[in-house]
Structure 1
Amino acid sequence: MWRRRTSSPFQLSEHVVVLTGAGISAESGLSTFRDAGGLWEQVDLEDVATPEGWERNPELVRDFYNQRRQQVLAARPNAGHEALVTLENRCQVSVVTQNVDDLHERAGSSHVLHLHGTIMEARSVVDPDEKMPLGEQDLTQNLTCSGGHPMRPNVVWFGEPVPAMERAVELVSRADHLLVVGSSLNVYPAASLVQFVEPGVPISVVDPDARMNLPGARVIRKAASKGVPEWVNGFRAAFSI
């Protein structure tokens, strides 16, 4: 299933694009949103994940994301995240994630594109380009941008455009291998990314409950911590890297 291009003794010139969803972070202890027992069963998304919810009750929204950030800070990257870092040491790897956590970066991945933003940052309510890292700091009403306006979570809410989509399409269209990990590919526009893979490019899916219809795709029905290292080991063996 692999396609070989020219390579050096040190790094293969293949470009692997990895699409990751909530499944890869679930094994690190972070709740998914849509699965049984997920966050959307615990809170009303209209209250905490829409511009209207922010307008109605910004304090509720801040509290929700502050709690989520503390959960992210307490979590640790798992073997799935780490296997992608190992792969990056051998070839070009671009991670396009639907997740708002920073586990890929903390594992050591260098090229991570967050489709839905990141919970680890705040941004101005009037200038989306003015952002502020939060770290362990809570987002409060006293945190303002350079213009004195409130800061909101730097995440894409329902009903908002996905600014990183254009860059994600570009990455996927240049992939030599596409690996989908822990994503149902049911959420748009992220789900449409597979349509931009060039004909003949191998597609693999790592998900114990994979249900998406991707003709010709290789499916590893295992959790990310087992399935991603398995895929990476197979890739390295195929290219002797």
Structure 2
Amino acid sequence: MTDFALTEEQRQWLFGLSSPMVAINVDAEASYLEPAMWPDHKTPEFLALEDSWGISNRDDLLSTVAQMTDDGHATSIPTDYWRWPQQTPSERARARACPDPEPQHLLETFVDRTAVLTGQGGIRAWDLARMGFLLRSGYFLNYLDEAEMLHLHLQLALRARYWYQSWDQYLAGFLCGRLLWRTLNCDSADEVAELLLGNAAQEWLEPLFRELNTAFTNPANSLPWDLALPDSERPDSLPEMLT
């Protein structure tokens, strides 16, 4: 049991942080509302994090969450969403008018097109949602107990609300992050351009976008972004990691 009180709505709100990862895994019967995300699977062997994440035990899980929550892809992919609102419209227009096929300019153009959707949080949600997924997976695998899992979710919530002003911004940040992550495997600037600025992005993201926005049980579709959440003291069983 937890040592802090959470209503059912508050629990569901926290699980909404990983709703994009549920949408990705909906065909594998992932649940938006169940804490462990995989309620119909009784054996931990169903979910193997070692191949995709290099996580095979509790220490691996906590180390990954501690590292990637604040220093994941959102900081390693060179995009400056924080600076975008400080630019004048004329500065943005000059940047867009510059025909430069280099990957960095393509990234800057992508930021210019998407910052109005994500706000200054940019692609932080890509990391936060995936860490929520890992926490719920860790609970399923018995790497974390309920109090640990919920406490760490509350730390993710503090960051999400610092960077974003709404569920729409948060989900847009995730989708943009997922798209930018895919460019890491592109072999050429032309491929990056088609993915970020052409039709490939829409075709790849449209099913995910539709699932996120139509799923009846997705907390992001029913609960307010500013729902009151409690404070939580770190359980003694957890190391100092997210503060």
| Structure with greater proportional strand content | 1
TM-score, normalising length: structure 2: 0.32
Tell which has more relative contact order, 1 or 2 (C-alpha 8 A, sep 6+).
Answer: 2
TM-score, normalising length: structure 1: 0.32
